[in-house]
């Protein structure tokens, strides 16, 4: 077994070893090893394996390819098969961290103290010593780039008080996202009985994580360091270095899970997420992910949603202080079509002929649908652009008085 950069339990490498590792990191990809319970292993060879054929023969147990912003599915294989996810689990860990940051509960500059429990994690780690302190930013880098288990647990403890409480939050958030086939038992992805999810559920939580644009400041870093350069971080996802447009996201490898990957990439406005579970080796993992992404980019395109034609007209208001209300469409940022299909779209607009006051701004009054050969490709709401109060005796008198003043 090769020695991991983050080492075998027992202490941080000495100065000579650290210097050697720094020099080696500038020349080759550093090799990680995993304890029997899990971790991630970056590949040593340069480049990527050939893209796998995207059909039932794709070399993994389970896979799915979706568009990131709409959730549109382009390919799936056993996507609802419950499997161990290894360190892809950390997608949920990172999501809860990003949500805590966005809500102001924690800050990137907050100092986190390592507990004995965080220090005890096996697999890939940064040798976070009991009592040692690092910032949330540093631990985010260790988790997102190098998949450090001790860093992930320390973040969970900082947010929820204990890993157990944090796992409860993970499962609660999974339920809110509709991840009905997912049960988390820890914050790391180390193999544990009942710690299971599916490719479909992973795609859902991956898309949710990517709604936080700052996460890609971490997931797209190839190499970094901690402790003033003494601890090197190398991304476990080789797509970050070798695949154009990669935005992340997370690898995973354990004896139960095999080789896994949630890979995200954006090209020409099209954002894809490819999830691969249960590959037998690393080449199969990256070859499958590459094949899925290239299939998506080759066959689909993101296009702007056309304006309604003819333009949307105001809707009549019954019993309001105004007789009509302007309306507006709420289209998605883009629509996803097979390449070359944009000119074949047919639009239908359904809008209420009248609404009763009171009318709230943003209230749905209709729907726009775009169809291609009878198949729905895009649908969005038409809503009231303003509020209209209900007419009362007082408001009627006020309107009458203002009209009298205006005319007089």
Range 281-285 contact pairs with CB under 8 angstroms and sequence separation of 24 or more:
282/41, 282/43, 282/253, 283/43, 283/49, 284/49, 284/52, 284/59, 284/60, 284/259, 285/60, 285/251, 285/259, 285/260, 285/261
- As a residue count, the chain comes to 408
**Catalytic, out of 4, 62, 115, 147:** 147
Cβ-contact 281, 49 below 8 angstroms: no
Tokens representing residue 303 in the block: 């296009």
Residue 326: CB atoms within 10 A of its CB come to: 12
Q: Which of 62, 77, 90, 238 is catalytic?
A: 90
CA 141/CA 136 separation, integer angstroms: 9
What pairs with residue 234 in β-bridges?
Answer: 223
**Catalytic residue flag (residue 87):** yes
Long-range contacts, stretch 7-12, CB < 8 angstroms, 24+ apart:
7/125, 7/127, 9/122, 11/127, 12/127, 12/129, 12/231
Q: Are 56 and 77 in contact (CB under 8 A)?
A: yes
- DSSP reduced 3-state for 258: strand
Of the candidates 87, 115, 264, 282, the residue annotated as catalytic is 87
Q: List the catalytic residues.
A: 87, 90, 147
């Amino acid at each position: 077994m090769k020695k991991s950069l983050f080492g075998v339990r027992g202490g941080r490498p000495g100065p000579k070893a650290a210097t050697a590792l720094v020099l080696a990191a500038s020349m080759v990809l550093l090799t990680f090893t995993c304890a029997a319970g899990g971790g991630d292993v970056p590949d040593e060879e340069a480049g990527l394996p050939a893209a796998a054929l995207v059909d039932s023969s794709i070399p993994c147990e389970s896979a799915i390819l979706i568009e990131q912003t709409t959730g549109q599915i382009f390919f799936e294989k056993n996507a609802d098969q419950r499997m161990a996810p290894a360190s892809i689990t950390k997608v949920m860990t990172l999501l809860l961290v990003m949500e805590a940051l966005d809500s102001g509960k924690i800050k990137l500059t907050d100092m986190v103290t390592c507990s004995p429990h965080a220090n005890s994690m096996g697999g890939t780690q940064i040798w976070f010593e009991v009592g040692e302190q690092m910032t949330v930013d540093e631990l985010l880098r260790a988790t997102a780039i190098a998949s450090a288990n001790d860093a992930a647990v320390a973040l969970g403890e900082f947010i929820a008080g204990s890993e157990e409480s944090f796992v409860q939050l993970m499962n609660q958030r999974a339920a809110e996202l509709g991840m009905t086939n997912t049960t988390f038992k820890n914050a790391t992805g180390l193999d544990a009985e009942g710690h299971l999810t599916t490719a479909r559920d992973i795609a859902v939580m991956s898309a949710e994580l990517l709604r936080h644009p700052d996460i890609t400041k971490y997931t797209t870093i190839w190499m970094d360091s901690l402790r003033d350069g003494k601890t090197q971080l190398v991304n476990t996802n080789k797509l970050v270095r070798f695949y154009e447009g990669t935005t992340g996201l997370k690898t995973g490898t354990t004896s139960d899970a095999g080789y896994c990957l949630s890979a995200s990439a954006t090209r020409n406005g099209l954002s894809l997420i490819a999830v691969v579970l249960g590959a037998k080796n690393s080449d199969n993992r990256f070859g499958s992910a590459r094949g899925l992404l290239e299939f998506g980019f080759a066959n689909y395109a993101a296009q702007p949603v056309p304006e309604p034609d003819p333009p949307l007209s105001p809707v009549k208001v019954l019993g309001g202080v105004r007789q009509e209300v302007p309306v507006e469409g709420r289209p998605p940022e883009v629509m996803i079509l097979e390449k070359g299909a944009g000119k074949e779209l047919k639009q239908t607009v359904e809008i209420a002929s009248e609404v009763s006051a009171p009318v709230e701004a943003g209230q749905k009054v209709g729907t726009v649908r775009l169809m291609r050969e009878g198949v729905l490709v895009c649908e969005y709401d038409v809503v009231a652009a303003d509020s209209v109060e209900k007419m009362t005796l007082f408001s009627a008198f006020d309107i009458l008085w203002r009209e009298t003043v205006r005319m007089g």
